[in-house]
Every structure is written in C-alpha cells, then in structure tokens.
C-alpha cells in the first residue's frame, strides 16, 4: 500500500551484500531535505541492529510502498559526488557485472573521496595561504613610505604586494626576509588579508615544449578523415583502427582529440600499462598542455583525487590513463580511445569484474559519441565486429617512415640443446646482441616470467618446493636467494640440500633474473636493465627505468610483458623473444591470440627509427603456425585461421562465455556448490537455445591462499534473461545455509 506524500530517498547501502542489494527507502528529515539530493552520501541505520552504515542517494521521490521507514541520520557531502550519468553507470555495472551498486560506486570514484570511520575524508583539499592588499595600491604605497623608518620589514611587505595581485605568504616572507609577526601586524591594521587558495597536486612530469600537430601521411590522413567524420556526427558509434607497429596510430589520435577539444568537447585515452603513461603524457602534453590529466593506480591518493577534480571541474579535458580512467568525470564527452584494445589488462579481476571496453561502450552510447579501438593485433572479436559491419574499419598497413618491418629469424631451441647449449640465449641471438653492442645500438629481450627459475626440484628423489597455501611450485629468485609464490606472496629461503633425501637441486625453467645473469656471463659488465614487477613496484619507477634506458643508452633491456607494447626507442634495432612457446599452451581458447599478439607487439619495438630492425624468436616448436604468422607480422592470415578455429570451438565471437566461480576452504563443499549452480542454471535457462553448461571445472591453479576454486562455464548468447538467471543463482547461494563459507561470484568472459 502506498504511503503518504513525503521526501523518500532511494539509497544504495554499503553494507548490503549482492544477494540483498537493492535501493532501500529512507525517510528524509525536513532539516536535511535541501542537501539530500541524488549523488550525495549519507549515514543510515541498516538491518535489525540499526547499525550506522554509509549509503549513497540514487533518487529522491515523494512516496514509498512501505509505511514504516527508517530515517536518514546525516548527509555527508556538501555537493553530489556522483552526477546523474554516473548513477546510471553504477546501475548498469550492477546488472552487467554481478556486483553491488556500492561496489560499482567505489570503482567509479577515486580513493581520495572516501571517508574514514569518523566521517572525515581520507584526502583533504590542498590549500596554500595567500596574501593580498585590503586597500587601494596608492594607499598601500603611502603606508609603506610612512613605515619605512620605524617598521622597515612591514614596508617591504607592502611594497612587494603592491607589485602583485596576490602572493603565497610563505614566498612573501621569504623574499622580504620578514617574520610572520610583521605580516600579522599588517593584517590587524586591515592593510593586508590572508586567505586560502586551493591548489592541485599534479604528478611530476618533464617540462615539454609545445609542438605543432604532427604531419599525417596519406594513409593516416585517410584514416583520420573517416574517423573524424564519425566523431563529428554526434552519434554513438564504434570504429576499429588497425595499424602495424610503427604506423603512427598515435598521430591519428592526436588529430582526433584536437578536433574534439576545438569543439569544446572532452576525450579519454586508455592505455593498457602504467609503463606507457609517462610516454603518452609527454607526447600529448606537448600538444595540449594543461588540458591533459593523468589517472592511474601509481599516483598518490592526493594526486589522483586532484586530477579527478580538474577533469570534473572542466579545468582539463583530456584524461589519459589505464583501465580505471574509463570512469574519468570529463565534461561533454566527445571521444574515447582504447589503445592496444586487445590487452587483458583492460579486464578487472576483482569485483566488479568489468571490462573497460564494455564501460566505454555504455558511456559512448549515453553521450552519443565515438569509441575508437586501436591495435596492431586487434582482439579477434573486435575484428569480427568490423568484418560484419558493426564497427567501422580503418587500417594503416605500412610504417609511418616507410621503413620495412623488422627482419625476423626463428631459432629451433631443440637444435640448440643438441649442440650442447642449454642456456636461455641461442647462439644466433648471442651473435646479434654482440653486433648491437659493438654498433652502440640497443636491444630488448622479452620473457614473460619473472624470477630466476620456474621451479626447484631434487635430482635424486624428485622433491619440489611447493607453496603450502597454493597448488603451485615456488619460483626461485636468485637476487634474494628465496623461493616465492607469485599468487599469495609466501616466501622462504632455499635450503642448502633436499629436505627429504639431502640430494642436490635441479633448477628448471628460466625467468628474467636468470636471463640477466646469463647476459652478464656472456658479455661481462656491460649495463643491463631488467623491467618486471620485481623492479617497478615503487610508484614511478617504471618511468625512471625507461628514461635511464633512453638517456644512458643502456645496451640491453630484459623484461616481461610490460616491454612488449607502446615503447618507442629509435636506437632499439634488435628484439629477442626468449621463449615464444610459453603462453601458447596455456589451456584456454585465447592462448594462440595472446601468443601472436605478444610476439607481434614486441617485434614491433625494433627498427622504429632510421636504422633497420631485426628480431630473433626462440622456440621449441618452430613449425607452429601461430609463431610463423607472428614472425611474418601477418595478422590477416592469423585472424582467418583463428576465426575458423573459434567457429568450430563455438567460442567468442560466435558465442558468449560467462562463468560462476565458487571458492572455499573445503574442496568437497566447493564442488557440491558448483553442482548445485549447474543444476539450477539448467532449470532456469531451459528455454535458451544452444545453451551449454560445463563443469564443475577446477581453475588452472585450483588452490590459492588455502581456498579451492572451481567454476561452472556457461556458453550461450548473453542477454538480460541469462544474466538474471545468474543473478538469481548467486542470490540463492548467498542465502542458503548449505553454502555457508563459500564465496560465489559471476563473471563475463573470464580470463583464466
């Protein structure tokens, strides 16, 4: 029965779990009505104990279907932290990514906005105390003259302020060598006033000179003209820009963004790795200056919060950043660009498990603007969407400087073993590295495994060191002499001998640390740089490493996936892929695509300047079709072969894959939960054509941090009824006592 007319707030409550998550009705007291508007946070009593919880107002209405309503306790924000569009985005994320509204809100907003338990904000606005005259300049000059003999410092303060509209009080005192007492005396005389001015904490960047827009060649101009026509149409759309490595996609991006800024619109540019943001920031700042704001997780909370405010306040109109920058609060959105759109890093592995591409599509649809996906190795599904006409398609088939793509040679590592070379560096790669060192040219070596050795085992009894909390072998890190689990962080010092039989250890599998050691053995004390998560953990260290590599002309850079894309060093003329097979047999349908992309991208780092590039690919399967296509940089041949394989497998883009994953301490209970999930999905989705349910299936690493992980995979065409069925099963598992202690979550297109 509808209640009487009153101010009722529809509130998403932070304490609500997924299975009870919905907008809750609360009565708004008259004294809070003016401030209790959509987008502000509030304190409300929640659940039977009426414990105080944080919530956010989604809407305000004048009625409720419930008679007895609890009352809003307090309004926490002077102004909304979410606008209407962001509230709609949070509701979309809840429906699409199986998360609570509050989970979505916490993802959208920067950490600096959130509150401590006492209600104060975690990051405060930064202010600087300023000083200015409170009287006309002529009067101030006369007062200074009158004080020159008895109070010379006060006179100096007044004279300096006469030359400026305002000065920071600290600078004012420093330049005049005056004391604060002198300044306070002038304030008491109403000659000077002090006030606080907000300043923005900005990430440290190098000073760059303003540059004219880059000149486009004929291919780039054709792509730009077509894309710009779509972008100016003020209509939602998507386009794919395929360009070989070094073809100049960034120059096209710059021209497109320039056109949007010229129209008074804003843009978002997404990059897949934090390591790419300094280079992108420098490039785009040279064209757009302070219009650029940077958003990524390595910024301090204060810097990220202030960059967010600059964008929301209209003081910056171009957001550059990693996955989370897709939520940037830009005004009048006109364009979103996803560079290297095929990268897995655009998918979040924590709740909410969103893909930046899906969020970007939603924002572009709401804003009526263009989403541009750019890559040298587009996602198979994206390329297919372009083929069937859902995306516009543009290509840059040659390098910008008309240079040839790197000459690639494949090395059979089985033959190297037969010749007695059991190391990570083949004889060919060694010779090519030596040649580059003699020429003063640089080389990049790629191996997507950090540490020294994948595992350590006993040569006598076969004992291996395994993580006590995860079902995986410990990786040996020679730099620290410790064994480490890359999943839960467990580590221990390597024993002197086998703990079971006292035998000697065998070290299996190479990582970046071992490759670095081998290079020092081969080439002596030449400078070698390593770039992996062990060396770039501190904020900004990736930028310093890359800057050193460029400025000091370091001969060799060894790295994991972070060296494969976006880096542009003109003196790099050699790339080596240490183990091309490593990701090829990972066991999921993307393994071939991932391998092709990694090899193609890293080979493309070579020969981007005037000097020709070379690449060496080391593999134990030299006849593999994917490796050969990557060596030839033949994306179209790979795409055609992979598409037919996907058609036979009935995997994306021909079907959608969703999953429900359960984890818990008791393996048997986890499996029973998954069996229940599968049975309920079969009942709820009985009318779905072509539905295939697979599982319970253990994940590749079945136990992580003592919790077992199993999954039920759902293959079908995703739609609202399928997502509603998954949501219902998640709710049932969360409320049924039989599944107590089991964590269950849903995911779209899981990546492992």
Q: What is the CATH number of domain 656-748?
A: 3.30.70.600
pLDDT grade for 752, boundaries at 50, 70 and 90: low
Per-residue model confidence (pLDDT) at position 23: 94
Range(s) within the chain of domains with CATH label 3.30.70.600 = 656-748
**CATH number of 407-450+511-646, picked from 3.40.50.300, 3.30.450.40, 3.40.605.10, 3.60.110.10:** 3.40.50.300
Per-residue model confidence (pLDDT) at position 150: 85
Per-residue model confidence (pLDDT) at position 2: 45
Range(s) within the chain of domains with CATH label 3.40.50.300 = 218-396, 407-450+511-646
**Cis upstream peptide for 213 (omega within 30°):** no
Least confident of 175-184, 261-270, 528-537: 528-537
Per-residue model confidence as pLDDT tens digits over 624-675: 999 999 999 899 999 999 999 999 999 999 999 999 999 999 999 999 999 9
Q: What is the CATH number of domain 8-109?
A: 3.40.1440.60
Mention the CATH class of domain 218-396: alpha beta
Quickly count: other Cβ atoms within 10 Å of residue 598's Cβ.
23
**Segment 122-125 long-range contacts (CB within 8 Å, at least 24 positions apart):** 122/301, 123/301, 123/302, 123/305, 125/198
pLDDT of 80 higher than 90:
yes
Range(s) within the chain of domains with CATH label 3.40.1440.60 = 8-109
pLDDT grade for 539, boundaries at 50, 70 and 90: low
pLDDT grade for 206, boundaries at 50, 70 and 90: low
Q: Where are the beta strands (DSSP E) in 248-376?
A: 266-270, 292-295, 318-321, 333-339, 370-375
Radius of gyration of the chain (CA): 30
Question: Strand 127-133 relative to strand 192-198: parallel, antiparallel, unpaired?
Answer: antiparallel
- Rounded alpha-carbon distances, angstroms, from residue 589 to 216, 447, 562, 649: 38, 21, 23, 8
Q: Are 704 and 743 in contact (CB under 8 A)?
A: no
Cβ contacts of residue 18 below 8 Å, gap of 6+? 98, 99, 100, 730, 731, 734
What distance in Å separates the CA atoms of residue 474 and residue 494, rounded to the nearest whole number?
10
The dihedral through the CA atoms of 556, 561, 564, 565 has a sign that is negative
**Segment 329-332 long-range contacts (CB within 8 Å, at least 24 positions apart):** 329/83, 329/86, 330/266, 330/267, 330/268, 331/266, 332/264, 332/265, 332/266
Q: Are 610 and 570 in contact (CB under 8 A)?
A: yes
Per-residue model confidence (pLDDT) at position 123: 76
Per-residue model confidence as pLDDT tens digits over 98-123: 999 999 999 999 888 877 776 677 77
Q: Are 219 and 370 in contact (CB under 8 A)?
A: no
**Cis upstream peptide for 27 (omega within 30°):** no
Q: Where are the beta strands (DSSP E) in 116-252?
A: 127-133, 167-168, 192-198, 237-243
Per-residue model confidence as pLDDT tens digits over 576-634: 999 888 888 777 889 999 999 999 999 988 988 889 999 999 999 999 999 999 999 89
What distance in Å separates the CA atoms of residue 466 and residue 457, rounded to the nearest whole number?
10
What distance in Å separates the CA atoms of residue 447 and residue 578, rounded to the nearest whole number?
6
**Cis upstream peptide for 696 (omega within 30°):** yes
Q: CB-based burial of residue 586 (10 Å sphere; 0-12 exposed, 13-18 middle, 19+ buried)?
A: middle
The dihedral through the CA atoms of 35, 36, 40, 43 has a sign that is positive
pLDDT of 28 higher than 90:
yes
Per-residue model confidence as pLDDT tens digits over 338-382: 999 999 999 998 889 999 999 999 999 999 999 999 999 999 999
Angle between helix 218-231 and 249-262 (nearest 10): 40
Question: Strand 51-61 relative to strand 237-243: parallel, antiparallel, unpaired?
Answer: unpaired
Q: Where are the beta strands (DSSP E) in 464-604?
A: 475-477, 482-484, 491-493, 505-510, 528-531, 556-559, 572-577
Angle between helix 380-387 and 635-649 (nearest 10): 90
């Amino acid at each position: 029965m509808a209640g009487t007319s009153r101010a009722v707030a529809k509130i998403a409550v932070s304490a609500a779990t997924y299975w009870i998550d919905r907008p809750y009705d609360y009565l708004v007291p008259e004294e809070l009505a003016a401030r209790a508007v959509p987008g502000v946070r509030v304190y409300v009593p929640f659940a039977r104990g009426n414990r105080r919880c944080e919530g956010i107002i989604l809407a305000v209405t004048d009625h409720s279907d419930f008679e007895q309503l609890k009352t809003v306790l307090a309004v926490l924000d002077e102004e909304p932290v979410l606008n209407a569009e962001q509230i709609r985005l949070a509701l979309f994320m809840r429906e699409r990514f199986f998360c609570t509204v509050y989970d979505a809100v916490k993802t959208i907003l920067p950490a600096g906005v959130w509150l401590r338990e006492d209600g104060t904000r975690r990051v405060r606005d930064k202010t600087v105390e300023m000083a200015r005259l409170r009287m006309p300049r002529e009067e101030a000059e006369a007062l200074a003259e009158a004080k020159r003999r008895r109070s010379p410092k006060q006179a100096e303060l007044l004279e300096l302020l006469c030359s400026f509209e305002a000065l920071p009080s600290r600078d004012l005192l420093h330049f005049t060598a005056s004391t604060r007492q002198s300044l306070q005396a002038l304030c008491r005389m109403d000659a000077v006033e002090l006030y606080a001015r907000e300043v923005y904490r900005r990430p440290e960047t190098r000073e760059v000179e303003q540059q004219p827009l880059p000149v486009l060649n004929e291919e780039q101009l054709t792509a730009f003209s077509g894309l710009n026509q779509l972008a100016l149409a003020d209509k939602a759309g998507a386009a794919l820009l395929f360009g070989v490595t070094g073809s100049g996609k960034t120059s096209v991006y710059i021209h497109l963004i320039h056109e949007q800024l010229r129209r008074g619109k804003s843009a978002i540019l997404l990059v897949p790795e934090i390591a790419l943001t300094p280079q992108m920031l420098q490039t785009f700042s040279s064209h757009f200056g302070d219009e650029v704001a940077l958003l990524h997780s390595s910024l301090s909370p204060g810097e990220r919060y202030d960059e967010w405010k600059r964008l929301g306040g209209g003081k910056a109109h171009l957001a550059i950043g990693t996955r989370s920058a897709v939520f940037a609060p830009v005004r009048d959105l006109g364009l979103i660009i996803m560079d290297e759109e095929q990268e897995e890093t655009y998918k979040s592995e924590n709740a909410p498990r969103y893909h930046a591409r899906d969020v970007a599509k939603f924002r572009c649809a709401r804003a009526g603007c263009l989403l541009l996906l750019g890559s040298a190795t587009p996602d198979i599904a994206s390329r297919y969407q372009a083929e069937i006409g859902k995306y516009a398609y543009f290509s840059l088939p040659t390098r910008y400087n008309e240079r040839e793509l790197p000459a690639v040679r494949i090395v059979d590592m089985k033959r190297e073993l037969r010749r007695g070379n059991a190391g990570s560096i083949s004889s060919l790669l060694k010779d090519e590295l030596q040649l580059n060192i003699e020429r003063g040219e640089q080389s990049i070596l790629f191996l997507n495994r950090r540490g020294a050795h994948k595992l350590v085992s006993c040569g006598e009894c076969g004992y291996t060191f395994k993580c006590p909390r995860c079902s995986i072998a410990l990786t040996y890190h020679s730099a620290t002499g410790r064994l480490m689990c890359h999943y839960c962080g467990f580590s221990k010092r390597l024993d002197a001998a086998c703990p079971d039989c006292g035998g000697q250890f065998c070290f299996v599998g190479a990582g970046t640390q071992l490759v670095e050691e081998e290079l020092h053995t081969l080439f002596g004390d030449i400078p070698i740089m390593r770039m992996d998560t062990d060396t770039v953990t501190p904020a900004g260290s990736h930028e310093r490493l890359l800057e050193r590599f460029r400025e000091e002309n370091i001969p060799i850079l060894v790295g994991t996936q972070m060296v494969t894309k976006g880096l542009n060093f003109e003196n790099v003329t050699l790339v080596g892929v240490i183990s091309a097979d490593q990701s090829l047999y990972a066991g999921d349908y993307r393994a071939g695509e991932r391998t092709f992309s990694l090899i193609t991208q890293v080979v493309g780092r070579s020969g981007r300047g005037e000097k020709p590039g070379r690449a060496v690919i080391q593999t134990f399967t030299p006849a593999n079709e994917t490796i050969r296509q990557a060596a030839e940089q033949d994306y179209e041949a790979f795409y055609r072969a992979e598409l037919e394989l996907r058609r036979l497998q009935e995997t994306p883009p021909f079907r959608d894959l969703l999953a429900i994953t359960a984890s818990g301490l008791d393996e048997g209970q986890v499996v029973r939960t998954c069996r229940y999930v599968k049975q309920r999905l079969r009942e709820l989705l009985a009318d779905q054509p072509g539905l295939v349910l697979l599982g319970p299936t253990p994940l590749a690493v079945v136990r992580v941090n003592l919790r077992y992980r199993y999954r039920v995979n759902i293959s079908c065409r995703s739609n609202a009824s399928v997502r509603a069925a998954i949501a219902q099963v998640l709710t049932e598992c969360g409320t049924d006592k039989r599944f107590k202690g089991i964590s269950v979550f849903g995911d779209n297109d899981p990546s492992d």
